[in-house]
Structure 1
Amino acid sequence: MHVRQSFTLSCLLLLISSCEEKMDLDLNKAAARIVIDAQLSDASSVQRIRISHSVGFDDPINTSGIKGATVSVKDNENRHYSFQYEKDGYYIHRNFKPVAGRIYTLNVAVQKQQYSSSCQMPAYVAVDSTGISEKSLNGKTYFFATLTFKDPAKVANYYSYTLSINGGPFRFANAQSDQFNDGLKVTHYISDLGTNLVPGDGVIIRRYCVDEKTYQYWNEYQNNNLSNAAPSNPKSNISNNALGYFSVASVKEYQLKIGQ
């Protein structure tokens, strides 16, 4: 079967851009805004949502956690999940594993303001094979983790990847859609954006099947980091001018090692 490789120019350019799995806030002198980082998935029954407000650009952290918010998620089958505050702006629910196909609505009340968002959790698109690919670009050798799969036909599918190298923190790597390869056999090429993979590295890839709005958020994020202009905030899918995003995704991890 023909393999449509999603190894595009933008993927190559991403190699020279550096970003982490966090909001990149343009906050030098801007008024403080609420930041909601709500990435839920079926990887665990423990879900975490962080509520914070933006702080000065030169401060040691990008956001400052907020205590005293009311945070809940409700699905379209009238199941209600109340999140409890723990520390540093994190609100936790320890017995909540989302189910593909259900629609989840986030509601946050903080400082007399209401914020909300909805997301339908996509089903996971299975991976047929994984591997390591070696590419030569401008005289330099780069390694990529590869995931090959059959994209479901006539269904819009969106993917987001994070990557951990040698046990380090997970960092945003890439966002992809099936706009140009619907129904085809596809290979996604994944590499860290700030550190080149080298022989001997062990990598863990987290592959999220996300909804369209989450994809748009991360695609805008990666496109902003490719431009020469100062990065701006991606468009949030949360109401009331909040920063951040709400996502409910199906996810799996893949472990690979770069051969020596």
Structure 2
Amino acid sequence: MMRYLFLFCICLASCQKVITLPLKSVPPELDIQGDVTNLPGPYTVSLSQSVDFYADNVYPTVSGAVIKITDSTSGVTDSLTETAPGVYSTHLLQGVPGHTYGLYVLSGGNTYTASSTMPAPVPLDSVTFSTNKRGGKSVIQPIPNFQDPAGIHNYYQFVVYVNGVQLQSTFVFDDRLSDGRYIHRALGTDTSQILPGDQVLVNMYCIDANNYTYFDEVEQITDPGQQSQDASPANPQSNIIGGSLGYFSAHTVSGKTAVAP
């Protein structure tokens, strides 16, 4: 979930002092996060509000919205029910690869829409690990292993859970340079995120092009190693029309669990 304002820090080399600029407050924006998958429902859409850069990491939930998801391929529309503050759940939908899904949100008198097509599934065969030294410490990184289908431009997102807790890191990959190959690409975790004996679950999502762009930009913004020193970070490009932050994604899921060596 991205904050609306950007932080500019001026580092003075002579005294190593960091000056925090007095950024102005701005009105909060709606943040929408919605998913439809090929796994059995219900599926959820979450609504919250952005906060100023220096505010606590507490994002107010948004209740009372009208939310619908339509399977544009079959013509079925599902009206979601608010099952927890800011969390809305489906009743009827079952995600099907190849189908296109439309999101409709009415909140605060404003309308937001999005569309996403669920790609064909790609099975994840296994999860192995690589162990390297970084700064004198061992770094254990999970490696998803799978066959990329030839002749199709595929986009992948990986979500990692360690002992049941989801890592906040964002991992995406596209097969532009690896079409049709067998993929075993390590995911860039940090030194303390995976330890020997940890149970690691890797979920591989096949996502559409628009959501790949969104999560790729999230990865670049949140990974200091990929940030340009000449460019200010910006909110990632959302596929939601109407001025909202966030994303709406129809994707397939394939997961494997392994124990870190």
The TM-score, its normalising length taken from structure 1, stands at 0.83
Q: Does 1:25 align with 2:25?
A: no
Report which stretch shifted further, 224-233 or 212-221.
224-233
Is the partner of 1:182 in helix, strand or coil? Answer: coil
- What is the distance in 2 between the residues matched to 1:82 and 1:194? 44
In structure 1, the residue corresponding to 2:165 is in which secondary structure?
Answer: coil
Uncovered stretches (5+) of structure 2, i.e. residues with no partner: 6-22
The one-letter code of the counterpart of 1:49 is V
Structure 1 residue aligned with 2:155? 158
Which is worse superposed, 161-170 or 190-199?
190-199
In 1, Cα distance between equivalents of 2:63 and 2:140? 43
Is the 2:138–2:191 contact (alpha carbons within 8 Å) kept by the matching residues of 1? no
Shift of 1:147: 1.7
Aligned twin of 1:244: 246
Distance (whole Å) between structure 2 residues aligned to residue 139 and residue 194 of structure 1 = 10
How many Å separate the matches in 2 of 1:68 and 1:218?
Answer: 28
Q: Does 1:36 align with 2:38?
A: no
One-letter amino acid matched to 2:115: S
Instruction: Please give the alpha-carbon distance, in whole angstroms, between the structure 2 residues aligned to 1:173 and 1:81.
Output: 30
**In structure 1, how many angstroms separate the alpha carbons of the residues matched to 2:105 and 2:191?**
34
For residue 49 of structure 1, what is the aligned residue in structure 2? 45
Alpha-carbon displacement from aligned partner over 1:169-212 (angstroms, at most 9, x marks no partner): 35344111001111111112125458332211111111111111
- The answer to whether the 8 A contact 1:36-1:52 is kept is yes
SS in 2 for 1:213: helix
CA distance in 2, matches of 1:170, 1:31: 30
Please say if residues 144 and 202 of structure 2, whose CA atoms lie closer than 8 Å, have aligned partners that are also in contact. no
Q: Which residue of 1 aligns with 2:102?
A: 105
In the alignment, is the contact (CA less than 8 A) between 2:4 and 2:50 conserved in 1? no
Residue pairs, 1:141-220, within 5 angstroms:
141-193=138-190, 195-220=192-217
Distance across 2 between alignment mates of 1:69 and 1:25: 22
Distance 1:194 1:131 in 2: 17
- Name the structure 2 match of 1:11: none
1:232 aligned residue (231, 234, 247): 234
For 1:57 and 1:44, how far apart are their aligned partners in 2? 37
Give the 3-state SS of the residue equivalent to 1:171 in structure 2: coil
Q: 2:53 and 2:120 mapped to 1: Cα distance?
A: 38
Q: Given residue 4 of structure 2, which amino acid in structure 1 is its aligned partner? A: D
Deviates most, 83-92 or 37-46 = 37-46
**Which has the larger Rg?**
2
Deviations 1:217-245 (A, max 9, x none): 11011112231566431111100111000
After superposition, the CA RMSD in angstroms is 2.1
The structural deviation recorded for 1:134 is 1.8
> After the TM superposition, which of the residue ranges 142-151 and 168-177 deviates more from structure 2?
168-177
1: distance between equivalents of 2:42 and 2:189? 27
* Matched pairs, number: 237
Do 2:69 and 2:78's aligned partners in 1 also have CA atoms closer than 8 Å? yes
Matched residues in 1 for 2:161 and 2:146: separation?
A: 21
* Structure 2 length-normalised TM: 0.83
For structure 1, the 5+ residue unaligned runs are 1-22
Amino acid in the other structure paired with 2:146 = F
The 8 Å contact of residues 81 and 93 in structure 1, kept in 2 or not, is answered as: yes
Report the CA distance between 1:138 and its aligned residue: 5.7
- 2:132 counterpart SS class: strand
CA distance in 1: counterparts of 2:74 and 2:26, whole angstroms: 40
AA matched with 2:63:
K
- Percent identity reads 27
CA 1:240–1:212 in 2, change beyond 3 Å: closer, same or farther? Answer: same
SS, match of residue 221 in structure 2: helix
Matched to 2:101, the amino acid is Y
